[in-house]
């Protein structure tokens, strides 16, 4: 297909899609309503998707930043050998073990956390705590946070746009049912007129 044929095909499709906006004897009020609904739906889907994506991504970014600010690394001592849950993890894997560390106020804390599987009692490992001295997972890096925020924003934007377009499709299907009912009524009247003329 040549470039000219491709352009003319796109032009024909555009004209075909805009028939509801042009005056013609076949156009009904419901066609105009449908055209406005479709236009509003696409505008709302685009704007709503962008807004939802931006807000969600920003909220995730701020939440991760707050976690990073409140988390602090602490050196803990492994008090019990890692429990492997009945199987030996692959080298470099993690296993649960009990560790002891000192809080910001100097108080001793003990809890279970995941440690390198080959760690032995008495080993020093780095754990992360929150502002209250409670164990917390290591905060995500800035790069991971950025990736997760973008991904969350994309999902939220797609969900918002899909919700709007799904609603528009539902309204459009109701308009179609109404149109079909009107056509049935008009065909019945036309049949009645033609029947009298030929009978």
- Give me the pLDDT at residue 90, please: 45
- Model confidence at 7: pLDDT above 70: no
- Mean of pLDDT over the chain: 79
Spatial separation of the C-alpha atoms in residues 30 and 180, rounded to whole Å: 11
Mean local confidence (pLDDT), 98-103: 86
Chain centre distance of CA 96: 33
Q: Has this prediction a pTM greater than 0.85? A: no
Question: Are the beta carbons of 100 and 74 closer than 8 angstroms?
Answer: no
- Give me the pLDDT at residue 4, please: 52
- Model confidence at 194: pLDDT above 70: yes
Instruction: Give the list of residues 6+ apart from residue 16 with CB closer than 8 angstroms, or none.
Output: none
Question: Are the beta carbons of 78 and 120 closer than 8 angstroms?
Answer: yes
Tell me the two tokens of residue 113.
């956390």
20 secondary structure, DSSP code: G
Query: Can you tell me whether residue 19 is helix, strand or coil?
Result: helix
pLDDT in tens, 168-184: 889 888 888 887 887 78
Question: Are the beta carbons of 32 and 20 closer than 8 angstroms?
Answer: yes
Question: Are the beta carbons of 104 and 97 closer than 8 angstroms?
Answer: no
Q: How confident is the model at residue 3 (pLDDT cuts 50, 70, 90)?
A: low
Picking from 86, 83, 78, the residue whose alpha carbon sits closest to that of residue 94 is 83
- Model confidence at 6: pLDDT above 80: no
- Give me the pLDDT at residue 58, please: 93
- Model confidence at 1: pLDDT above 60: no
- Give me the pLDDT at residue 111, please: 87
């Amino acid at each position: 297909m040549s470039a000219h044929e491709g352009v003319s095909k796109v032009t024909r499709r555009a004209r075909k899609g805009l028939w509801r906006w042009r005056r013609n004897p076949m156009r009904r009020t419901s066609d105009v309503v449908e055209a406005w609904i479709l236009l509003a739906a696409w505008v709302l889907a685009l704007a709503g998707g962008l807004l939802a994506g931006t807000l969600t991504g920003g909220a995730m970014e701020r939440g991760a930043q707050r976690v990073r600010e409140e988390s602090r690394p602490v050196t803990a001592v492994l008090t019990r050998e890692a429990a492997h849950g009945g199987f030996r993890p692959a080298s470099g894997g993690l296993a649960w073990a009990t560790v002891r560390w000192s809080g910001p106020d100097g108080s001793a804390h003990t809890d279970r956390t995941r440690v390198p599987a080959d760690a032995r009692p008495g080993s020093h490992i780095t754990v992360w705590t929150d502002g209250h001295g409670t164990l917390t997972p290591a905060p995500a890096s800035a790069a991971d946070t950025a990736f997760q925020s973008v991904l969350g924003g994309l999902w939220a934007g797609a969900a918002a746009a899909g919700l709007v377009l799904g609603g528009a499709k539902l309204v459009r299907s109701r308009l179609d049912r109404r149109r079909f009912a009107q056509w049935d009524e008009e065909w019945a009247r036309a049949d009645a007129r033609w029947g009298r003329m030929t009978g």
